Structure 1
């Protein structure tokens, strides 16, 4: 395994590794690099869908996305984002992730690692925007940190739930009721230490966080959430905020990132180019944050 820093960026490293045949100690070292550098780009990968799944299992416990319309037709562990039809049929879902989010933060048990393996790479405007929420938290004004101390965030998928083909003629009240039944809102700490590095992480997103609560459960002012999102860069429609990092990729790259530390936003254009990406999401060897099991048990999850 060889490692090289990415050019002209403070976030991420490039790694060359045989992901299928590397010894277990190299896979363990790879995960350490993800925690340290937040993004690892595995160069020169040529994996079949089945091999991608095998690599996912080497990284931890693979989480299958809860909605089947995103699944790869042969390997349900793979989440497919695609605007390219195959034999006239839509495979996966187009235009995914066009908002700032941590993957699965609307679920009671989020996962630690996200693996993205681009299959069809746009010639222009390719990449994903990221914000390091550990670094962003450190840069917040002390008064804002004090206001967030001991608080929790309420998170829900309701704002960005994608309507499915069989939802078209259903009453919207039925669709909304199903969303609340299948994915009820969950509470997570607004700030928690990374279980490996100990770094304090701000865990809120423009897409899924809809309320902050004080330690006693009372709601904090909506203006505080808006102000924090603006301060860290998630309210910047130009993507020019100093916290925002554009991670580009080439054919053969496989991206692994720390889903605790980073929020991300897919880069899409008004006239999208053909693009296909495969995603696998993994629970690693650590609790997402300390005490998550007890927290969700208390909420009846």
Structure 2
């Protein structure tokens, strides 16, 4: 197995000659180390069936099954299926992730590692945008860094909640009430130390963040969140902000990334066409939040 830095982007490493069936404990340990060091791993030439993909997740840590069953693979609930495939059975949920987010940030216990395994890659544009929120925090003005340290940020899925088939014709207030009951807002540290790298991570996303509260429990003004999102590149509709990294992939690629340090957003093909990815999400051996900054 070889792990080499990518040379055409802001982050990431390419992994070649990796085969799960013959991988040693040292190989798996090297993958974990590289996730934290390089943020994104592009593992080439994979031919895993769904069970083997789940096996890889189990090798890296403890899998978190997504709380909404409509995303589950029909035979392996550990796999979150996005997109659709041709045929009578449209497996998956289309047009997911079209907003900046960190997976599960709105839940009490987010996970450290996300893996996606594209199954159908469209001919048009397809990829994922990433922003390193450690580097983004380091680039903020000092007065804003000081203002954010010690605060907590509200996370909720209510802004981009995906309507389910069972929600059709339901009164919208019932749907909203169920969202708030099932996934009540979480208040996580705005800035914390990565438990492996020691970097200060800014845990804020355009999709799930709804403002800050200070150590006295008082809310900061909405302009603070607006400034943070602007300065971290998450409001750039052109995706040309120098902090944004576009990770492309081809058939046979498998992506693994650090879900603590990165926010991401899907790049979908502008024209509707078949596209499908499998996702497995994993708790590693470290507490998600290191010491609050």
Q: TM-score normalized by structure 2?
A: 0.97
Aligned pairs for 1:183-202 within 5 A: 183-202=183-202
Deviation at 1:29, TM superposition (A): 1.3
Aligned pairs for 1:1-301 within 5 A: 1-16=1-16, 17-86=18-87, 88-290=88-290
**What is the distance in 2 between the residues matched to 1:204 and 1:288?**
15
Please list the CA deviations of residues 252-274 of structure 1 after superposition, one character each: whole Å capped at 9, or x if unmatched: 11000000000000002432332
Secondary structure, aligned partner of 1:14: strand
Secondary structure, aligned partner of 1:217: coil
Secondary structure, aligned partner of 2:224: helix
CA contact (8 A) 1:56 1:62 kept: yes
**What is the distance in 2 between the residues matched to 1:21 and 1:282?**
21
CA contact (8 A) 1:140 1:231 kept: yes
Q: Which runs of 5+ in 2 are unaligned?
A: none
Distance 1:85 1:175, change over 3 A: farther
Moved more, 95-104 or 147-156: 147-156
Q: Which runs of 5+ in 1 are unaligned?
A: 293-301
**What is the distance in 2 between the residues matched to 1:46 and 1:177?**
42
Cα RMSD (Å) of the superposition?
Answer: 1.2
CA contact (8 A) 2:153 2:213 kept: yes
How many positions carry a matched residue from both structures?
291
Q: TM-score normalized by structure 1?
A: 0.94
**What is the distance in 1 between the residues matched to 2:290 and 2:39?**
20
What's the counterpart of residue 298 of structure 1? none
CA contact (8 A) 1:20 1:54 kept: no
